[in-house]
Amino acid sequence: MSRVQNTLRNQWRSLADLAATSIAVLSTILVIAPLVAIFVYLIYKGASSLNLAFFTQVPKPVGEEGGGMANAIYGSAILLGMASLIGVPIGIGGGIFLSEFGRGTKLANAIRFTADVLNGVPSIVMGIAAYSLVVVPMHHFSAFAGGVALGIMMIPTVCRTTEEMLLMVPHVVREAALGLGVPNWRSVLSITVKTASPGIITGCMLAFARVAGETAPLIFTAFGNAFWSTNLNREIAALPLQIYVYAISPYDDWHRLAWAGALVLIVLIVLAVSLVRFVTSRGVLKGAN
């Protein structure tokens, strides 16, 4: 190739490099922009609608001003409590099996793969399953059904993160416990799981934050409730569900409440995610290394 051609080609290459870099930067900006836009808009619209009444009052009838989402906040707390009761123990148990009993076996690989695939199943399908399993036999919607739907969504996530955290516990710690003649079940629970507990807890928090914002599985399980309810056997309100109902309604007042609710929800989720990041970056296992 002649000198001139070579220089031209190199110029073209440098141009391509510059173009690629610009596009990459542009992409990043384009991605971060909606995020920033959403947050800013949420804070702007939500903060102005937030007042004490939001947290303490139930929705007023259509047409009346004011009211709040106290019933939805409480309902979400109940649903998430039930979901955790189902999802956390079973998920941690599954993770313990994968790490301590089934490590390297084909069964464990199959379970792990299935858990990952299950995480990708749409949440509305989980809702249908809970509908079939709980709502149909009971002949009515209930908070319990909603709790079940959210609970089975938590199981695969908690299981995988628990397994990952337990795998990080150094083998010598287990050996020390076994060498003392500690029964295996005691060693797994009091030594191995305890050592990995900061990581396991963060995994549970992640799963919790994820189901806290889920709406679809609740539409035909918990169903939602415009009134204050503490009955697990009946329909119950939930924060994301209420936001949805209000958002698609034609009433401005309800829109305002929807924004406020969204702000509360996003703040809780951001707090949870940030906490998780903080704990994980600080070093999950205290002194185990």
Touching other proteins, residues 236-255 (CB under 8 A): 240, 243-244, 247-248, 255
Distances (CA, A) of 265 to 69, 76, 107, 161, 213: 12, 10, 38, 24, 7
Residue 239 and residue 219 in contact, taking contact as beta carbons nearer than 8 Å: no
Q: Residue 189 to residues 104, 179, 181, 237: CA-CA distances in angstroms? A: 20, 16, 15, 37
- Residues 108 to 167: which contact other proteins by CB under 8 A? 108, 111, 113-126, 128-129, 131-133, 152, 155-157, 159-161, 164, 167
Q: Which stretch binds other proteins (CB under 8 A): 57-65, 71-79, 192-200, 226-234?
A: 192-200
CB of 1 to other proteins, least distance (A): 14
Nearest to 151 by CA among 130, 133, 165: 130
- Toward other proteins, which CB reaches closer, 53 or 173? 173
User: By rule CB under 8 A, what count of residues binds other proteins?
Assistant: 118
85 binds other proteins (CB under 8 A): no
How far apart are CB 229 and other proteins at their closest, in Å? Answer: 17
Q: For tokens 């600080």, what's the residue?
A: 282
**Would you give the binding string for other proteins spanning residues 64-83, x where CB under 8 A is met?**
--------------------
Residue 194 structure tokens: 């305890």
Nearer to other proteins, 78 or 159 (CB): 159
CB nearer to other proteins: give 129 or 279: 129
Mask for 10-39, x = binds other proteins (CB under 8 A)? ---xx-xx-xxx-xxxxxx-xxx-xx-xx-
Q: Rounded to an integer, what distance in angstroms lies between the CA atom of residue 280 and that of residue 267?
A: 20
Report how far residue 126's alpha carbon sits from residue 153's, in angstroms, rounded to the nearest whole number: 7
Per-residue tokens: 267: 């703040």
Q: What does the alpha-carbon distance between residue 89 and residue 83 come to, in Å, rounded to a whole number?
A: 10
